Amino acid sequence: MSETEIFKVLADPTRRAILERLSAGEATATDLREGFAITQPAMSQHLAVLRGAGLVSERREGRFAHYRVDPDGFAPLHQWLGRYRAFWPDRIDNLKDLLREMDQ
Amino acid sequence: MSETEIFKVLADPTRRAILERLSAGEATATDLREGFAITQPAMSQHLAVLRGAGLVSERREGRFAHYRVDPDGFAPLHQWLGRYRAFWPDRIDNLKDLLREMDQ
DNA sequence: TCGACTCATAAGTCTGTGCTTATGTGTTAG
DNA sequence: CTAACACATAAGCACAGACTTATGAGTCGA
């Protein structure tokens, strides 16, 4: 997916909130509506957009649609941001350092 | 700056191209227009937006305005993305193996 | 089988945004 | 001083996107 699309998708606060909710685990479209002041079609449309961007994957089970975060979808964003990581002397500046952090 | 604003700002391909141009070093608004098929006001507006989001800083010198990347502006984005880095253990492990191979 | 249920799609509305042209403000060169 | 220059701002237009209500498609329980 293009960087433009991913940024557009994530520019919506509702969609980012959905992702945050899904980061706690899989959920159905109806489960997700809890806590959101939006209609069912709105939620369905948001999920379709997230799915189209590859940030979320769907698992159908009867009449239920289970959604979950698709980590691979974030790769382009991470890669893009990496180009500006060179500007952060204090922060991690390459993957090896990141991995050393994770080893601890 | 809010995450929503930063994502909105970066969702525009022209603005991301401006940032990429500025990552090579400081430039004036007129310098930046080179290679872009946009009018002077359009460039000015984009730069104002980037500045408003804290992604770019401005240095006035006479009638010239020099712009450059402001690394701190990317911090919220990096922080947000970091919340989803936890979903990459498998991918990172694979990369770890790859790096170990490369080290030998 | 029938009705409730889960989700998706269609169509219309409204707002936001990126573009344009026109103009304003300040600066420098001749 | 004046004209050219660099940039910002104003106003208007066109398109994209997020929402709504209405409806369709498929699934399950009684």
Q: Which CATH architecture has domain A3-103?
A: Orthogonal Bundle (1.10)
Q: For position B85, what pLDDT does the model report?
A: 76
More confident residue, A86 or B67: B67
Tens of pLDDT, residues A33-51: 999 999 999 999 999 999 9
Tens of pLDDT, residues B14-60: 999 999 999 999 999 999 999 999 999 999 999 999 999 999 999 99
Q: For position A84, what pLDDT does the model report?
A: 83
Q: How far is the CA of A16 from the C1' of C3 (A)?
A: 36
A chain contacts of residue B83, beta-carbon cutoff 8 Å: 20, 23
Identity of residue B64: F
A26 lies within 8 A of chain B by CB: no
Structure confidence at residue B77 as a pLDDT band (50, 70, 90): very high
Distances (CA, A) of B61 to A61, B40, B43, B71, B86: 63, 18, 18, 22, 45
Domain ranges of chain A: 3-103
CB contact under 8 A, B92 and A74: no
B chain contacts of residue A17, beta-carbon cutoff 8 Å: none
Q: How many A-B residue pairs are in contact by the CB < 8 A criterion? A: 74
pLDDT at residue B81 is higher than 90: yes
Which nucleotides of chain D are near protein (any atom < 7 Å from a CB)?
5-11, 17-23, 26-28
Burial degree of B98 (CB within 10 A; 0-12, 13-18, 19+): exposed
Structure confidence at residue A1 as a pLDDT band (50, 70, 90): confident
